[in-house]
Amino acid sequence: MKQESKFEFLVAAYVHDLKNQLQSLSAQQDTLINELPTEYQLKLTPMLKQTNKIKDDTLRLVSVFRLENKDKFDMGDAWPKDTASNAIESCNLQFPNLSIKNNINHNAQGFYNEQLIQLALVTLITNSAQAGAKQVELSCEEHNSHSLSITIHDDGPGFSQDILDGLADTTKAEGTGLGLSFVEMICQAHQGAAQRGALTIVNAKDGAIATLFLP
Amino acid sequence: MINLEKALAGRRILIVDDLVEARSSLKKMATILGGDNIDVATDGIEAMSLIHEHEYDIVLSDYNLGRTKDGQQILEEARFTQRLRATSLFIVITGENAIDMVMGALEYDPDGYITKPYTLNMLKERLIRIITIKEELRKVNKAIDLQKYDLAIKYCLEVLDSNPRLRLPASRILGQLLMRQKRFQQALKIYSQLLNERSVSWAKLGQAICIFKLGDPNSALALLNRALVDHPLYVQCYDWIAKILLTLDKPLEAQAALEKAIVISPKAVLRQMELGRIAYENGDMVTAEPAFKYSVRLGRFSCHKSAKNYLQFVRSAQALLINPKERQTQNKANEAFRALTELKQDFSDDKDSLFEASIVESKTHLKMENLDEAKRSANDAEDMLAKLECPKIDYKLQMTETFIETDQSVKAQKMIDELKSAELSDKQIIMLNRLDNDLNGEALKRHSTSLNDQGVSHYEKGELEEAIIAFDQATHYEQAGISVLLNSIQAKISLMERDSPDKKILKNVRSLLIRIGEIAKDDERFARYSRLRKTYDRLCRAAAK
C-alpha cells in the first residue's frame, strides 16, 4: 500500500472509531438523563453541550479534510426541512436562549450532501448566536431549474462592512472565526449542470441574511 | 407523510451492529419510535441466519461489522437469495467514509442510509422519509416481488410522470429493470437524462454499463475512469473496468483493476473469486492464491460458498509449493490439505467435487514429494470416478494424468485406450495426445523398468508366480523391450520345468517369441534367445505326448 493511501486509511479508521464512540456516548447520556430525577438533569447540560460540540467539530474536521483533498461528496435527494431540523437540534443545545424557527416547507426537496449542509447551517446559526442574535429564521425557496436556496435570517447586528466587502473573514475573537469560509467551501463543493453552489451574505434592516444557493 | 409509529408497529425489524452500545441504543430508539417486534444480530453471519429464518420488513444494519461481512454484503446476499422482498426496507447505517460504496451500489442498493452520529430525532425524520418513498413505490416493488418486470417498468414510468420528486429512486429502479430485460438503449436514455441534471454516481455506472453492452467498450472505460476521479472509492467501477478489459483481451490490466478494488473493499466474495480466476489465468499464483483463500474464508458463511473456490485455492497454492523441506511450504501445503478436508466434509454429496478434490490432493502430495500419499489420493479419485454415473471426458483426462504422475501406467494406458474411442473436442484430443506421449515416454519407460526389476527380484528368490505377474504387466506395453520379453519367457519356462508343461502358458510364450521375431546372431541376447527357444520346443513336445 502506498504511504499516502495508508495515511488515508488510518485517518478513516480513526474517524470511524471516533464516530462510534460519539454515538455511544450520546446514547449513554440519553439513558442517564432518562434515569435521573428532573432536578439533576440540568446538571448534565454542560456535558451534553460539550459532547455536542465535539460531535460537530469531528464532522467539521472530516469535512475540511475531504474538502481540502478536493474529494467529491456524494449528493443525493435531501429534504431541507429535515436538514434544518437536525441543525436546529444541535444548536438548541448549545444556545438554549436562541429562538430558532424552521419555516421550511415539508415537501421542499434538494440534491445535496446532507451532512455538509447541516454543518453549514449549524455554523451560520452559531455565528448568529455569537453575534448576539435572539432569533433566527430558516426558510427555503425551490427554483425552476431544480436548484434551491436556504436562507438564514437573524435579528442580530448584521455583518460588518469588512466582511461584506470580502476584506476580512471574521471580526470575532472566539472560535476559529473561519465559519463563513467553511460554509463557502461547502457551497462550492456543490455543482450542478453548469452551476456552482454559492454563499451570499447581506444585511437587512433587522439583521443579517445568509443564503446558501445549491444547484 | 406516513405515521412512523403506525408504520413500525407490527413490522418485523432486524438491527445489525457489532458494537453492543450502538446496538442497544438503536433498538431503544426504534422501540421509542414504535417498533415492537425487533431482533438484533451482532454480525453478518448471525444476521444472515436470522434473515433465512424470518421474513423481515425492515433491516437496519451498520456498514462496518468488524471481521465478518459488511452491511452491503448482507443486503446483497439477502436480496440474491430472495430472502428480502423488494417491498422490504434495507437501511445502512454508516460513517460518511463508506457512503461512496453504499450509494454507488447499482444492483443491490439500500433503500436509504443514516450517517453516524445520529440522534433520535434524526433517525425519526430519516425513517419517515425513507418509508414514505418506499410506500410511494410500493406498486413497483410489489410487481418486482412477483417477477412481473414489464409491469414494474410500466409503474415506474407512471411514477416518473406523476411524481417528479421520486425521480431519483424511480429512475434507479427503472434503469435496473431495463438492464435486466437487456433493453440497454432505453436504460441508457434514463441514465443520460438524469445525468444531464444531476451528478449521480450510480447513474454514471449504469450509463457506462449500457454503453459497453451496446458495443462501445472504450467509451465505457473512459466514463468509468472519469467516475473514479470523482469517487475513488467507487469499487463497482473497478469491477466493470475489469470485465470490459477482459473482453478487450487485456487480462493483465483487468487483474490490476480488480486488485485496486480489493484494496478498497476486500470482503466481497465475488470480487475475490473473480480476481483469483483472472490471476490464475494470467499464471500469477502469488495473487491468485490469497484471492481464492479469501474466497474460501469469506464464502464459508455465505450463499457464495462453492467447492470450486476450495479447489482453485489448492490448485493455485500448489504452484507455490517450491521447496517441500521449507517450513513455509509445509504450512502452505497443510493449509491446502485442510481446505480439502473441509471441502470433503461440506460437499460430501457432490461426487464431482469429491473426485476433483482427490485429484488435486494427489497433485499436492506429489509437490510435497510424497508419492505414497499421492498414489492413495489417486486411488480415491479412481473410486470416485467409478461412482460417477456419466463421468466427464475431462475427468478421465485428469485421472489419466494423475495415474501417470503416480506411476500407475497400466491404469493410465487403459484409460487412454478407452479415451481414444471416445468423442473428444479438439482441446481434449491435444490433451490426450500429450498424455499418450508422456506415458509412452519417460513414465512408461520408468514404470516398465520398475516392473521388470520387480520380476527379476521375484525370480531370483524363486517366486516364479509373482515374477510372472510382474513380467506380464511389463510386457503389457507394446514398447516392452526384448530383454523384458525374454525375462517373461524365462520365468514361464522355469515354472513349467518345475511343475509340468502347460498348453496355455506355452501359447503365451509362443506369442512372446513371435513379438521378439528374429534376433541377429551377433546380438548379445542371441545366445539366451536360442537357449530359451530350444527349451520351449522341448516343452511343446512334452506337452503333446
pLDDT in tens, B314-371: 999 999 998 888 999 999 999 999 999 999 999 999 999 999 999 999 999 999 999 9
Question: Mean of the pLDDT values across residues A59-73?
Answer: 77
Band (B312; pLDDT cuts 50, 70, 90): very high
- The CATH number given to whatever domain includes residue B203 is 1.25.40.10
CA gap B101, B234 in Å, rounded: 6
Shared domain for B8 and B65, answered yes or no, is yes
Yes or no, beta carbons of B117 and A19 under 8 Å apart: yes
A180-210: b or e for each residue (b if 16 or more CB lie within 10 Å)? bebbbbbbebbebeeeebebebebeeebbbb
Domain span including residue B192: 140-231
- Number of CB pairs, chain A paired with chain B, less than 8 A apart: 88
Crossing angle (nearest 10°) for helices B184-197 and B167-180: 160
Last residue in a domain, options A68, A86, A105: A68
CA atoms within 13 A on the CB side of B225: 10
- The CATH number given to whatever domain includes residue A105 is 3.30.565.10
Helical H segments across B184-250, by residue range: 184-197, 201-213, 217-230, 235-247
Shared domain for B44 and B62, answered yes or no, is yes
Shared domain for B99 and B27, answered yes or no, is yes
Shared domain for B100 and B204, answered yes or no, is no
Percent over 70 (pLDDT), chain B = 96
pLDDT in tens, B163-188: 988 999 999 999 999 999 999 999 99
Shared domain for B29 and B149, answered yes or no, is no
Shared domain for B52 and B147, answered yes or no, is no
Nearest-CA distance from A214 to chain B in Å?
Answer: 12
* SS3 call for A79: coil
Name the nearest CA neighbour of B175 among B165, B160, B162, B164.
Answer: B160
Confirm whether B180 is domain-assigned: yes
Shared domain for B27 and B99, answered yes or no, is yes
A56-92: b or e for each residue (b if 16 or more CB lie within 10 Å)? bebbbebbeebbeeebbbbbbbbbbbbbbbbbbbbbe
* SS3 call for B56: coil
Chain A positions contacting chain B at CB under 8 Å are 1, 5, 12, 15-16, 19-20, 22-24, 26-28, 30-31, 55, 62, 71-72, 74-77, 79, 82, 85-86, 89, 106-107, 109, 111, 114-115, 146, 191-193
pLDDT in tens, A78-131: 999 999 999 999 899 889 899 999 999 998 999 998 889 999 999 999 999 999
The single residue listed with the C-alpha cell 444548536 is A91
The pLDDT value recorded for residue B220 is 97
Shared domain for A95 and A133, answered yes or no, is yes
* Nearest CB to A20; choose among B1, B22, B115: B22
Confirm whether B34 is domain-assigned: yes
pLDDT in tens, B117-130: 888 888 999 999 99
Band (A173; pLDDT cuts 50, 70, 90): very low
Confirm whether B316 is domain-assigned: no
Nearest-CA distance from A161 to chain B in Å?
Answer: 37
Q: Could you count the other beta carbons within 10 Å of the beta carbon of residue B195?
A: 16
Yes or no, beta carbons of B125 and A82 under 8 Å apart: yes
Yes or no, beta carbons of B263 and A16 under 8 Å apart: no
- Is B254 in contact with B282 (CB distance < 8 Å)? no
- Those residues whose C-beta lies under 8 Å from the C-beta of residue B80, and which sit 6 or more positions away, are B108, B303
* Global pTM value: 0.75
Contacts of B103 in chain A (CB under 8 A): 74, 76
Average pLDDT, chain A: 84
Which chain A residue has its CA at the smallest distance from B170's CA? A77
The ipTM value here is 0.81
Shared domain for A95 and A195, answered yes or no, is yes
Cα–chain center distance at A177: 14
Dihedral angle computed from the Cα positions of residues B151, B156, B161 and B164, in that order, rounded to the nearest 10 degrees: 160
Last residue in a domain, options A22, A49, A68: A68
Domain span including residue A187: 76-214
pLDDT in tens, B492-539: 999 999 999 999 999 999 999 998 888 888 888 888 999 999 999 999
Chain A contact present for B31, CB below 8 A: no
- The CATH number given to whatever domain includes residue B481 is 1.25.40
Residue ranges of B 47-86 with Cβ closer than 8 A to chain A: 64
Shared domain for A143 and A202, answered yes or no, is yes
Last residue in a domain, options B211, B231, B251: B231
Which chain A residue has its CA at the smallest distance from B23's CA? A24
Confirm whether B72 is domain-assigned: yes
Confirm whether B197 is domain-assigned: yes
Shared domain for B50 and B86, answered yes or no, is yes
The pLDDT value recorded for residue A34 is 77
Yes or no, beta carbons of B21 and A28 under 8 Å apart: yes
User: What Cα–Cα distance (Å) separates residue B257 from each residue in B100, B165, B250?
Assistant: 18, 36, 11
Name the nearest CA neighbour of B316 among B294, B348, B291, B349.
Answer: B291
Contacts of B22 in chain A (CB under 8 A): 20, 23-24, 27
Shared domain for A23 and A98, answered yes or no, is no
Yes or no, beta carbons of B198 and A75 under 8 Å apart: yes
CA gap B424, B132 in Å, rounded: 60
> Dihedrals φ, ψ of B124, to 5°?
-60, -50
Euclidean distance between the first and final Cα of chain B, in Å?
114
Contacts of B21 in chain A (CB under 8 A): 23-24, 27-28
Yes or no, beta carbons of A76 and B197 under 8 Å apart: no
Contacts of B63 in chain A (CB under 8 A): none
Contacts of A15 in chain B (CB under 8 A): 95, 97
Shared domain for A161 and A205, answered yes or no, is yes
- Assigned C-alpha cell, A203: 444585511
Residue A200 has pLDDT above 50, yes or no: yes
Bond from prior residue into B391 cis (ω within 30 degrees of 0): no
Yes or no, beta carbons of A86 and B100 under 8 Å apart: no
Yes or no, beta carbons of B103 and A15 under 8 Å apart: no
Nearest-CA distance from B70 to chain A in Å?
Answer: 14
Handedness of CA B297, B301, B302, B303 (dihedral sign): positive
Report the number of distinct structural domains present in chain A: 2
Report the number of distinct structural domains present in chain B: 3
Residue ranges of B 100-159 with Cβ closer than 8 A to chain A: 100, 103-104, 115-122, 125-126, 129
Yes or no, beta carbons of B263 and A62 under 8 Å apart: no
Beta bridge partners of B13: B38, B58
Confirm whether B453 is domain-assigned: yes
Yes or no, beta carbons of A82 and B126 under 8 Å apart: yes
Residue A176 has pLDDT above 60, yes or no: no
- Those residues whose C-beta lies under 8 Å from the C-beta of residue B33, and which sit 6 or more positions away, are B4, B5, B8, B120, B123, B124, B127
Last residue in a domain, options A68, A93, A109: A68
Last residue in a domain, options B183, B214, B231: B231
Band (B137; pLDDT cuts 50, 70, 90): very high
Yes or no, beta carbons of A192 and B199 under 8 Å apart: yes
CA atoms within 13 A on the CB side of B509: 27
Last residue in a domain, options B76, B106, B136: B136
Confirm whether B62 is domain-assigned: yes
- The CATH number given to whatever domain includes residue B63 is 3.40.50.2300
- Is B314 in contact with B340 (CB distance < 8 Å)? yes
CA gap B60, B279 in Å, rounded: 36
CA gap B66, B46 in Å, rounded: 13
Shared domain for A102 and A153, answered yes or no, is yes
Residue A167 has pLDDT above 70, yes or no: no
- Is A116 in contact with A88 (CB distance < 8 Å)? no
> Dihedrals φ, ψ of A152, to 5°?
-120, 115
* Nearest CB to B95; choose among A15, A28, A77: A15
- Is A141 in contact with A111 (CB distance < 8 Å)? no
Shared domain for B125 and B156, answered yes or no, is no
pLDDT in tens, A138-162: 999 998 777 899 999 999 998 888 7
pLDDT in tens, B189-214: 999 999 988 888 899 999 999 999 99
Shared domain for B113 and B153, answered yes or no, is no
Shared domain for A151 and A199, answered yes or no, is yes
Yes or no, beta carbons of B120 and A82 under 8 Å apart: no
Confirm whether B202 is domain-assigned: yes
pLDDT in tens, B257-305: 999 999 888 888 889 999 999 999 999 999 999 999 999 988 887 888 8
Which chain B residue has its CA at the smallest distance from A8's CA? B97
Shared domain for A39 and A107, answered yes or no, is no
Nearest-CA distance from B230 to chain A in Å?
Answer: 5
Beta bridge partners of B114: B93
Shared domain for B4 and B132, answered yes or no, is yes
Chain A contact present for B21, CB below 8 A: yes
Shared domain for B82 and B184, answered yes or no, is no
Write the DSSP symbol of residue A75.
Answer: P
